[in-house]
Amino acid sequence: MLVSRNIDIAATAERVWTLVTDPRRRASLNPAVKVIEVEIEGGGLLQRDSSTRYRLEIGGRIVEYRTRVLELVPGRRLVTRSDSAAPFETTLELMPQTRHPWRAALGHVSLASRLLRLPSATPLTSGTRLSHSERLEPTTDMIQRAIDQLGGGQDLGWRERLTLWLDGDASERLRDHALQHLESSLGVTLDRWLAAIRDDLERAPPVDGRLPA
């Protein structure tokens, strides 16, 4: 299962990178979890092969796992993989967004720019696009919880379980619905998490019309 989301943030790539490579700060902005402890093992900054230990409260349960950095391109790309029961691979990518002052004044009207033949101007940084992707293979327990949620939070009784066991097609359809539910729920969580990161970074007001450094 792969779920990807992105968001445009009115902050420099340097500031966005500083936040996403601070595991505790980034985790604290996830509205779906409560941070108990997040620590880069050995201290210091994230680098390739470094590990981070997490102890979080998720849905009333305590979850502990570690992540290891698989790839790190400073200011551009970070890939980590967890050792949790359902291992997940996270990819964060940054892309600076630019604009031309005269295009902004014209409202990005390309026809006017061609007719007026306006001189080129040095592009100004207008923000950063942050992309977040999660790849994971759901466990049987995760799928079962999703099935229970689809049933209104009620656990399946023995008759329903027997019916599903005897009817392979019905069981497969239910599993597909559960996976779709999991994917949708993860997408909603990523959207809320990215929005919280954006709000945190945009909280500092621009200085002289420029983005905070």
pLDDT in tens, 22-59: 999 999 999 999 999 999 999 999 999 999 999 999 98
pLDDT for position 166? 46
pLDDT for position 162? 44
pLDDT for position 206? 55
Q: Tell whether the model's pLDDT for residue 91 goes beyond 80.
A: yes
Q: What is the mean pLDDT of the chain?
A: 81
Q: How far is CA 102 from CA 13, 76, 95, in A?
A: 23, 28, 22
3-state SS, residue 43:
coil
Cα–Cα distance, 158 to 37 (Å, whole number): 40
DSSP secondary-structure letter at 149?
H
- Per-domain residue ranges of the chain: 2-111+125-202
Class of 2-111+125-202 in CATH:
alpha beta
Q: For 60-75, what is each residue's pLDDT tens digit? A: 999 999 999 999 999 9
Q: For 165-187, what is each residue's pLDDT tens digit? A: 444 566 677 777 778 888 888 89
Phi and psi dihedrals of 154, rounded to 5?
Answer: -95, 130
Supply angle C-alpha 208, 210, 213, rounded to 5. Answer: 115
Q: For 112-152, what is each residue's pLDDT tens digit? A: 444 545 444 555 457 999 999 999 888 777 777 777 766 55
One-letter amino acid identity for 43?
Answer: G
Q: Tokens at residue 129, please?
A: 């696009």
pLDDT for position 149? 67
